[in-house]
């Protein structure tokens, strides 16, 4: 398959590119060329900004996986350029698209956030993150119809990725895991390697629609114990750290975001490895001399 990845050299996108090359696909990467520019010499590299993607004005691909779409303005421009020159469009979306943050068991058909009146399409703020992803999904569906897929994820763990990176560092150093979220906080996550494999699978299959690409729901305390099991005798969890890296309210007002129904994704081939396996990979990656990137917030 001739595959175009928008992004592809950091965090989750790096895993997607690795999986695509390992599967034998002909890979083209479009990005600014600033992060890990020497990665993947066997791929074709196109450089440019999402706001001015002139490098995408020619060429044809069987599919595109969009890992770097944040601003609606930029999505609109790339969609117009690629409309008639790609077969399938897979968009990396987010569980932040849902209008409710308290409803348990939401499927992909649950109501999404509306676009605020007068909000700019060419500026990014965290308040617009969820609405921007929802608006981008709608724009792509209008442009590509059944040829588009929206993969919605939340916390992404493992090598190259920031989420739970502080836990990996704690395991590597023999220090307590720090968690400012309450022990009973519902949580869903996904190993970056599993998410990359799923993104590639739905793209190759040309499977349209939206998918909640998340694990089964667990609690923060249960997840912490799974991570601690990787290093027998790990210190107890510090539930009152000086720094809050999760930013999850204690009053349950965001619990529904991590009680999503993932059955559609599982039926489409999503595989979820044990939490301890993700923890071990993260720890070993850090022990090899790597440092997790900072979280986006």
Mean pLDDT of 116-127: 91
Q: Measured between alpha carbons, how far is 148 from 203 in angstroms, rounded to an integer?
A: 9
HSE-CB at 45 with a 13 A cutoff on CA atoms is: 15
Query: Half-sphere exposure (CA, 13 Å, Cβ side) for 18?
Result: 16
**Rounded Cα distance, 124 and 130, in Å:** 11
**Mean pLDDT, the chain, whole residue set:** 96
Nearest alpha carbon to residue 192 among 33, 18, 25:
18
Distance from C-alpha of 95 to C-alpha of 82, rounded to nearest angstrom: 25
116-130 mean pLDDT: 92
Of 74 and 294, the structure prediction assigns the larger pLDDT to 74
For the entire predicted model, the pTM comes to 0.96
- For residue 296, the model assigns a pLDDT of 62
Q: How many angstroms separate the CA atoms of 26 and 206, rounded?
A: 17
Domain 2-155+190-212: homologous superfamily in CATH:
NAD(P)-binding Rossmann-like Domain (3.40.50.720)
CB distance 52 to 235 below 8 Å:
no
Mean local confidence (pLDDT), 206-233: 98
Whether the pLDDT of residue 1 is over 90: the answer is yes
Identify the three-state secondary structure at position 180: coil
């Amino acid at each position: 398959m001739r595959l175009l990845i928008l992004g592809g050299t950091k965090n989750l996108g790096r895993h997607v590119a690795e999986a695509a090359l390992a599967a034998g696909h002909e890979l083209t990467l479009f990005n600014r060329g600033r992060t890990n520019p020497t990665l993947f010499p066997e791929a074709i590299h196109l450089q440019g900004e999402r706001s001015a993607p002139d490098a995408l004005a020619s060429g044809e691909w069987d599919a595109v996986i969009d890992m770097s779409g944040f601003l609606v303005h930029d999505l609109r421009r790339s969609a117009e350029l690629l409309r008639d020159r790609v077969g399938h469009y897979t968009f990396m979306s987010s569980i932040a698209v849902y209008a409710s943050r308290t409803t348990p068991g939401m499927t992909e058909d649950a109501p999404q956030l509306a676009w605020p009146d007068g909000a700019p399409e060419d500026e990014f703020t965290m308040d617009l993150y969820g609405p921007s992803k929802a608006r981008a999904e709608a724009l792509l569906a209008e442009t590509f119809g059944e040829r588009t897929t929206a993969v919605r994820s939340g916390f992404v763990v493992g090598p190259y990725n920031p989420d739970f990176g502080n836990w990996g560092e704690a395991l590597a150093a023999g220090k307590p895991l720090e968690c400012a979220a309450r022990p009973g906080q519902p949580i869903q996550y996904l190993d970056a390697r599993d998410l990359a494999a799923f993104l590639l699978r739905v793209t190759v299959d040309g499977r349209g629609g939206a998918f909640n690409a998340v694990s089964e729901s667990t609690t923060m305390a249960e997840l912490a114990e799974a991570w601690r099991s990787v290093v027998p005798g790990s210190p107890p969890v510090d539930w009152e750290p000086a720094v809050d890296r999760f930013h999850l309210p204690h009053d349950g007002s965001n619990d529904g975001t991590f009680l999503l129904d993932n059955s559609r994704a599982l039926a489409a081939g999503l595989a979820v490895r044990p939490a301890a396996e993700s923890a071990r990979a993260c720890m070993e990656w850090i022990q090899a001399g790597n440092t997790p990137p900072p979280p986006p917030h």
